[in-house]
Structure 1
Amino acid sequence: MDSPAKFNIGQAIDGTKFELDRASLTKHAIILGATGSGKTVLSKVIVEEAALQGIPTFAIDPKGDIGNLAFKSVSFDFSTWSGKEADALKIDRAKYAASLQKTYRDKAAEFKVAPNAAANFDKVTVRIFTPKSSAGLAVGISPDLSAPKDFNQLLSTDIASAADLLDLTSFNLLRLAGYGESDRKQVTFVSAILENAWKNGESLTVKDLIRNIESPSFSYVGSLPVSKVVSDKERKDLVTRINLLISDPKLRSWSSAKSINFSELFNSPSINILDLRNIQSEQEKHLFVELILQQLFQWLIKQGSAQTLRYLLYFDEIAGYCPPVREPPSKKLLLLLIKQARAFGLGMLLASQNAVDLDYKVISNANVRFIGRLGAHRDIQRVSVGLELDSDAEREIARLRPGEFFCNTFDPKFRGVIKSRWTLTYHRGPLENSEIAQLMAEFKKSEPVAEKEEEGREEEPIIEEEPEKPARLLLPVVAHEDPIVLAASDDETFLLLEKKFEPKDLSSFIKLGSNLRSIKVLSVEPEERFYPVFELNVSVFEKGYAKQSLDKIVEFAAIGDDDGLVDIPEEHIITSHRLVPAETRKEAEAWKGEIQKAVNRIEKELRHKFDILIEEKRKENIAARSEKPRAKIANIDEKVAKLQQSINTDIDTVKEYEKLYKDVKKESKKKKSLKPRLISIENRIDTNKQRILSTRRKIEQLHTNRKALEDELKDIQHEEKERFHQALGNIKSKTSFGITGWLVETVYRARILVNDSKEHYGDVMWSAYTGQGTWGRCSSCSVALAEGSICSCGNLLCSTHLAYCKMCLEPACMEHRAICYICSSTFCAAHYIRCEICRSPACANHSGTCSICNRKVCSNCSQKKGLIKSKIICRGCSII
């Protein structure tokens, strides 16, 4: 049976089992080997062993090889996944699956793998994240500006880690905004904003950061005023560029998916794979890896230090991300983790094809080194030089076969050739997107909403489909305990938004440019649109330690896809019942995701307040429990002070008696009668000395008692601190939401006459509450227009097809404008002619009327004659 502190890696060259000390991985491991050497198999074996011992792994996979860890089976039946390989080998699928099953069973027995290992590994969660792809679990990157817990304590006890955290967070945020290493002023300024907020326990969003940049809450950065660190112009540029993170579509695409939640991933034994293949740009891959590692490092700091292996980071083909010369974005984070991650219980498993492609700091910080078969003798020599190996090691490496590795471990000391065991999972080539989608389908089902409660429990009501029963509707929600269910009601509240923009006022709010001379409403049909009003109910509580709860109830209206969840508008009236269409009721379910986000935000806010509440409870408990010991300490201090004063008095008395004794002794030589007095003085000196000695013993005993009371105070603080952290883990939540009513908006559909010449209908519709809508379609591209301009003929024009006459500056549509072929300027129908000779359009400045035949001609088809050349003669008439 495997030792719980060791990983069963395979066999030594003599056939004995080779086990890797679990603790040695906290100082990292590196695997080097050419293609086909078996380094990926060995890496997977280590990851499997970690999962079997409850250690979660986060794996970064540039090539798509690690996802095979999801091919697991208790009986080694891989028939679901081996079909394509069987077809490629031209073997019957069933026979190939059976042969695979036998081979895996035989190899498990050969390498003395525990009989229940495959069954235990089948319980391990394997997730595959695919950035910029919907094949696996979606994942994005967004700057995490949340305040680390106990940041002030980290700042005072480990200022280096706190400084790294501030610098990395600021730098990576600014990297997304287009800044680089040379822009240290901006990084310093943003770090100062974050530090100021985090010290106060405040988490920031990008919008909060923008506001802080525009109006900093502090006047100095270090010893310099803010204006001396970054000028007003630089701050404006900083705001503009950071704003792109939430406005630029390309940058927003990175943050549209949810960021990785390491607390959730590392909560149980799991393997979490980040497949980078769908990110096309190498630069984007490096940036994505950098920000993911920054989030991991920030999360680790929040977890506190640890001496044992708690988590594993596996990075396959790391060479391109941490080369010896270049400085790709991810290198700084990798080196930082390699140096500091062990302090937080994170071990790193790194794999590469060659040591010379890696920064030497990576190799020098690796406690365990596996070197597999290499392609050529010069590669062996390079690795030997890089790892400082001797000639014996070179000869052993040269003789290695696939699956064999020269292992060099520093702590505990080991050096020799080992053979990797077979994996418990089906080892095959890279996964296809369709396979990833199939493997991750179960996780995707549970992403938008919570799974149904366990069998036997009554299901929550869902949105009704029958319009005849407008009952109050409840939607399910992810809850930490049983959700608080809002009572259903047969009555629904309808809030009618006030009408501000009615058809009679159409000309005052229509947006069709200054050329709109007149607009008439020929017909109008009002209709009502319904938007659900949700009541969000969140309760956070801790019954054991704080014995308190915090509750918050919020009402939001779901108005349109663009507006999202908004506070209920003030301008409304309660109206009579309406019949809500069944389709509209169904559409309300589409808001579950947004509502869940809002619930999560409220819950996070309440939890933050609860952290403060529990901290106050901790201080209150410490004060109450410490009251008696502190009172006893104060009493002891008072007694010690009195006893010390008594000692000082006795010492002074002894000195006086000793002086008297000397004087009497001198005189006793002359007078024999003074001898009894000498004896009396000696007795008094001895009595006082005995009293001093006794008093000192009493003081020592009091000091001992005081020390015991101080230890008791420390125990109280320690116990309360443990209870405090336990209470933080016992905070629970109840969340729910339901439809409490409907917001009713009046929308007008109309047929209008524009400029007394052109009718528009069908796409003419607007809200009576907002005045927003569409007024028809562009005459060129048929796009429905919310705003634009209009030709004098009544045709609508979008901004793309809008053109203004150079003479009168009025817009003109394609039918009523032309470009002068001489000056290339645009002119409306009133300011251009079509030459009757060459048939080309010409503007008024480059055309005229022939004084002989009255034809309209361009300048190129005419000439001026006469004494003062005032008469235009066309080309035809000039020949005559």
Structure 2
Amino acid sequence: MTDIVDLAAGTVFLGGGGADHAQPQNLLLKYANRHGLIAGATGTGKTVTLQVLAESFSRAGVPVFMADVKGDLAGIAKPGDPAGKLNEPFQARAAQIGMALEYEDFPVTFWDIWGERGHPVRTTPAEMGPLLLSRLMGLTDAQEGVLNIAFRVADEEGLALLDMKDLQAMLVWVGQNAKELSLKYGNVSTASVGAIQRALLVLEGEGGDRLFGEPALELSDIMRLDASGKGMINILSAERLVNAPRLYATFLLWLMSELFEQLPEVGDSDKPRVAFFFDEAHLLFDDAPPALVDKIEQVARLIRSKGVSLWFISQNPADLPESVLGQLGNRVQHALRAFTAKDQKALKLAAQNYRANPDFDIAEAIQAVGTGEAVTSLLEAKGVPGVAQRTLIRPPLSQLGPIADAERAALNAASPMALKYGKALNRESAAEILASRAEQAAAQAARPEARGDDDLWTMEKPHSRGRRYDPRIQIPNEAPAKRSSRASTSDSIATTFGKSLARQLGTKTGQALVRGVLGSLFRGK
């Protein structure tokens, strides 16, 4: 019988290939970081393939992150049911491909931007950066430029942008001081500021305000192993999120960017450090500017040296740009339907992406494979694409389908992530600092007899925040004194916010923080 995972051989079993489905089709773990594609029409078995791969990676000790856009991946947390209606066909398939089917569960952590069906997922505007935020809000080039100025000034003034209120307050300040800022940074149009504020209101209505805040998600918390050595399977609840496609795509791009920027180089390793699945992958590229697509292609090419395995799931390979599709070495193509001339053209293009098999016509096979069957091509020794095979995908070991809400709630309550991320925190940041400065300026303006020219910039401020800004004068060229951060209330909170503080306080040497999707790639450009 075929092992699901053979760490000695460095393989995971995907299914049985050949005319009789007796030839094991194994994914080589050392080439899993050459990325992969799962494609096929609705109802052809993409979700089962996704679940099977997630189980296999977990068993090999590789953490997994994936979005659940239909709400039917939660069953990974429970073993399959030997008395269920799917047991008999699954057992028959297992026997056909030479596999011993023994059901088991897998460690799962649920996440949800809204915090309703999983632990809240948060980041900060400072971590996401102006480039991704501009894409999220659909800003023009001029508006993106104003947003970049707002981030630059926030860095130089030590104003941490931690949530939506901070960003809105910073934009108000930029609009009020547009004339002075334009002299130093370039044109700042109040019309552009207003357009950004309107876009923020729309984003807030879509739930974007839930995404911004603290404690921000730490990558180490999605790259955990359980006590038995299985990789944690992180499931992002996306049934609601996918209805806000721009928010969904931007969040996934941000997470990929964080992986690229923070993980060290590991070169060619025996297995990936983490596997990342992009479901509904076409949403990443819809309306994306060419520059952004180029950067995604760069990350897909370079992130493999960080030990990250990327998998794109979509109905048709044509949904992905050619530059990205060319980076996907492992391919699982479920059935495609060719009802129109456009469909037939897409089918021919999909077939051309496979190494030919003399035993069958690939285009015909892609149309003919049944549910749970696929045309696969997995990288072989030295990274050579394997010959296309008609493969019967192995049955999952865990439950296929959703779990009860009570079961999900129990898993969430028992997770150690509940204590860390369950409660939102609100530290002093840009909104509070700007409000305090405005109050002090108003109080000083009310005492003209006590105000002199030397008092316009005051070095001593409550909480050691540095100089106080007076709206009547232009920002000086020299950088203000560095402010000290507030003391943490506990070691655990200090640990949680360590990364956030380092990023958000900015530099005081005149160099702006380099941020955005694939931020490291912009250095030196």
With the length of structure 2 as denominator, give the TM-score of the two structures: 0.63
What amino acid is aligned across from residue 16 of structure 2 in structure 1?
Q
- 8 Å contact from structure 1 (residues 11, 421) kept in 2: yes
Correspondences of 1:115-130 after superposition (within 5 Å): 118-119=103-104, 122=105, 124-130=106-112
- C-alpha change, 1:295 and 1:137, in structure 2 (3 Å) is same
| SS of residue matched to 1:415 | coil
Instruction: Decide which of 50, 59, 63 is 1:56's aligned counterpart.
Output: 63
Distance 1:332 1:436 in 2: 41
Q: Secondary structure at the match of 1:267?
A: coil
**Does 1:143 find its partner at 2:124?**
yes
Among 435, 438, 459, the alignment partner of 2:407 is: 438
- Given that 1:287 and 1:329 are in contact with CA atoms closer than 8 Å, whether structure 2 keeps it comes out as no
Give the structure 2 partner of residue 338 of structure 1: 300
In the superposition, relative to structure 1, how do residues 265 and 436 fare at CA in structure 2: closer, same or farther (>3 Å)? farther
Distance 1:321 1:234 in 2: 29
Unaligned runs of 5+ in 1: 79-95, 147-167, 216-223, 452-476, 478-551, 555-597, 611-880
**Hey, what does 2:17 align to over in structure 1?**
12
Does the 8 Å CA contact 2:336/2:347 hold for their aligned counterparts?
no
Q: Which amino acid aligns with 2:388?
A: G
Structure 2: which amino acid aligns with 1:145? A
Letter in 1 for 2:347: V
CA distance in structure 2 between the aligned counterparts of 1:350 and 1:67, rounded to whole angstroms? 19
Matched, 1:368 2:330: yes
Q: Does 1:41 align with 2:30?
A: no
Query: How much has 1:130 moved relative to structure 2?
Result: 3.6
Q: Letter of the aligned partner of 1:359 in structure 2?
A: P
- Aligned counterpart in structure 2 of residue 393 of structure 1, from 359, 362, 376: 362
Question: What's the counterpart of residue 264 of structure 1?
Answer: 221
From 281, 299, 303, give the equivalent of 1:318.
Answer: 281
Correspondence for 1:414: 386
After TM superposition, the structure 1 = structure 2 runs for residues 863-874 of structure 1, keeping only pairs within 5 Å, are: none
Amino acid at match of 1:363: L
1:423 Cα deviation from its structure 2 partner? 0.9
1:275 to 231, 237, 242: 237
Q: Which amino acid aligns with 2:346?
A: R
- Residues 111 and 204 of structure 1: is their aligned pair in 2 closer, same or farther, counting only changes over 3 Å? same
Query: Aligned-pair distance for 1:66?
Result: 2.6
Residues 666-815 of structure 1 correspond to what in structure 2 (within 5 A)?
Answer: none
- Contact 1:373/1:397, CA 8 A, preserved across alignment: yes
- Distance change >3 Å, CA 16–CA 304, structure 1 → 2: same
Distance 1:363 1:383, change over 3 A: farther
For 2:265 and 2:388, locate their aligned partners in 1 and report how far apart those are by CA, in whole Å. Answer: 33
Q: Report the CA distance between 1:303 and its aligned residue.
A: 1.9
The equivalent residue for 2:470 is none
Deviation at 1:414, TM superposition (A): 0.9
**Aligned-pair distance for 1:102?**
5.5
Q: Corresponding residue for 1:205? A: 162
Per mean C-alpha deviation after superposition, the further-off stretch among 363-372 and 258-267 is 258-267
* 2:293 counterpart of 1:293: no
2 CA distance for matches of 1:249 and 1:17?
46
Q: Which has the greater radius of gyration?
A: 1
* AA aligned opposite 2:13: N
Matches within 5 A, 1:470-549: none
- Displacement after TM superposition at 1:229 (Å): 1.6
- CA shift, 1:21, in A, is 1.0
Give the CA deviation at 1:276.
Answer: 1.7
TM-score, length of structure 1 as denominator length? 0.40
What whole-Å deviation, never above 9, does each CA across 1:319-339 have from its counterpart, x for those lacking one? 34435x776999688556434
Q: Is the 8 A contact 1:131 1:278 kept in 2?
A: no
Q: 1:425 — aligned with what? A: 398
Corresponding position: 1:231 with 2:194 = no
Distance 1:18 1:445 in 2: 37
AA matched with 2:314: S
Shift of 1:304: 1.9
Return the alpha-carbon distance in structure 1 between the equivalents of residues 334 and 204 of structure 2: 49
Among all aligned residue pairs of Structure 1 and Structure 2, give the percentage whose two residues are the same amino acid.
19
Report how far residue 17 of structure 1 moved: 1.6
Contact 1:118–1:424 (8 Å) recurs in 2: yes
Quote how far apart the aligned CAs of 1:58 are. 0.9
Cα drift, residue 100 of structure 1: 4.4
Q: Structure 2 vs 1, CA of residues 214 and 243 (structure 1 numbering), >3 Å: closer, same or farther?
A: farther
Distance 1:144 1:340 in 2: 25
Aligned to 2:475: none
Deviation of the 1:184 alpha carbon: 3.5
| Superposed CA offset, 1:581-639 (max 9, x none) | xxxxxxxxxxxxxxxxx7644455789999xxxxxxxxxxxxxxxxxxxxxxxxxxxxx
| Distance (Å, rounded) in 1 between the aligned partners of 2:322 and 2:406 | 39
SS at the partner of 1:362? helix
In structure 1, give the amino acid aligned to 2:352. E
In structure 2, the CA distance between the partners of 1:239 and 1:328, relative to structure 1 (3 Å rule), is: closer
Matched residue pairs, number? 407
State the alpha-carbon separation in 1 of the partners of residues 137 and 279 from structure 2.
Answer: 29
Moved more, 297-306 or 233-242: 233-242
Please state if 1:303 is matched with 2:263: yes
Quickly say closer, same or farther: Cα 1:196–1:366, change in 2 above 3 A: farther
Offset at residue 59 of structure 1 (A): 0.7
SS state of the match for residue 44, structure 1?
helix
Superposed CA offset, 1:712-738 (max 9, x none): xxxxxxxxxxxxxxxxxxxxxxxxxxx
- Tell me if the contact between 2:162 and 2:213 (Cα under 8 Å) persists in the aligned partners: no
1:675 maps to: none
Specify the code of the residue in structure 1 equivalent to 2:238.
L
Where does the alignment leave 5 or more consecutive residues of structure 2 unmatched?
175-180, 226-230, 424-486, 503-525
Go from structure 1 to structure 2 and tell me whether the alpha carbon gap of 1:263 and 1:376 turns closer, same or farther (over 3 Å shift).
Answer: same
CA distance in 1 between counterparts of 2:276 and 2:218 reads 15
Cα distance in 1, alignment partners of residues 246 and 291 from structure 2: 6
Change (3 A) 1:60 1:399: same
- Whichever residue aligns with residue 77 of structure 1, its letter is D
Measured in 2, the distance between the counterparts of 1:251 and 1:606 equals 24
1:590 is matched with none
Cα–Cα, structure 1 residues 111 and 436, in superposed 2: closer, same or farther, change >3 Å? farther
Q: Secondary structure at the match of 2:311?
A: strand
Q: Does the CA-based 8 Å contact 1:321-1:328 persist in structure 2? A: no
For 1:354, the aligned partner's letter is: N
Do 1:189 and 1:230's aligned partners in 2 also have CA atoms closer than 8 Å? no
Aligned to 1:762: none
State whether structure 2 residue 38 is matched by structure 1 residue 31: yes
Deviation at 1:396, TM superposition (A): 3.4
Counterpart amino acid of residue 126 in structure 1: V
Gap change, CA 1:181 and 1:277, over 3 Å in 2: farther
Q: More displaced, 234-243 or 385-394? A: 234-243
**2:145 corresponding residue in structure 1:** 185
* 1:140 CA displacement: 4.5
Return the alpha-carbon distance in structure 1 between the equivalents of residues 103 and 40 of structure 2.
Answer: 27
Q: Secondary structure at the match of 1:444?
A: helix
Letter in 1 for 2:266: A
Question: 1:275 Cα shift?
Answer: 2.4
Q: Which amino acid aligns with 1:367?
A: G
> 1:40-119 to 2 correspondence within 5 Å?
40-70=47-77, 72-73=78-79, 76-77=80-81, 97=84, 100-101=86-87, 104=90, 107-108=93-94, 110-113=96-99, 118-119=103-104
- Cα distance change of structure 1 residues 109 and 259 upon mapping to structure 2, 3 Å threshold: farther
Aligned equivalents of 2:318, 2:75: Cα separation in 1? 28
Tell me what 2:450 maps to: none
Distance 1:181 1:239, change over 3 A: closer
Deviations 1:93-125 (A, max 9, x none): xxx53x64465456545544478x745xx3x32
> What is the distance in 2 between the residues matched to 1:416 and 1:601?
52
